[in-house]
C-alpha cells in the first residue's frame, strides 16, 4: 500500500523526510513529485502499523490531503 499526501512547501517536505528517518522508515519513502506550489509525497508501507505511523508523521508535518492506494500486483517484490 502507498500513502500519498500533499505537502504545502519545502519546509513540510523536509519535516516529513526528517521524521521518516527518525522513525526508521526513510527506506520506505519513494520521494515526491514537486508541482508549482505543492508536492505529492509518496511512502510505501508494508502493514497497518506502518500505515498508521506514516499517517501520523504526515499529519504532524503539515501534510494535507492524505490518501491511500493499493500497490499494483506487478510492482510487488
Cell numbers 511512502 correspond to what residue? Answer: 43
CA distance 49 to 10: 27
**Which domains occur in the chain, in start order?**
2-72 (3.30.70.3400)
Does 39 have pLDDT greater than 80?
yes
Residue 71 has what pLDDT?
A: 76
pLDDT at 10 over 90: no
pLDDT of 37 > 90? The answer is no
The residue written with cell numbers 519545502 in the block is 10
- What H or E segment, with its residue span, contains residue 67? strand 64-69
For the chain, give the number of residues. Answer: 77
| Beta pairing, strands 29-34 & 2-7 | unpaired
Amino acid at each position: 500500500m502507498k500513502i500519498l499526501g500533499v505537502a504545502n512547501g519545502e519546509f513540510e517536505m523536509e519535516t516529513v523526510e526528517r521524521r521518516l528517518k527518525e522513525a526508521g522508515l526513510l527506506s520506505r519513502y519513494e520521494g515526491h513529485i514537486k508541482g508549482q506550489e505543492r508536492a505529492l509525497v509518496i511512502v510505501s508501507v508494508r502493514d497497518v502499523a506502518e500505515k498508521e505511523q506514516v499517517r501520523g508523521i504526515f499529519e504532524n508535518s503539515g501534510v494535507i490531503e492524505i490518501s491511500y492506494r493499493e500497490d499494483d500486483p506487478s510492482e510487488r517484490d
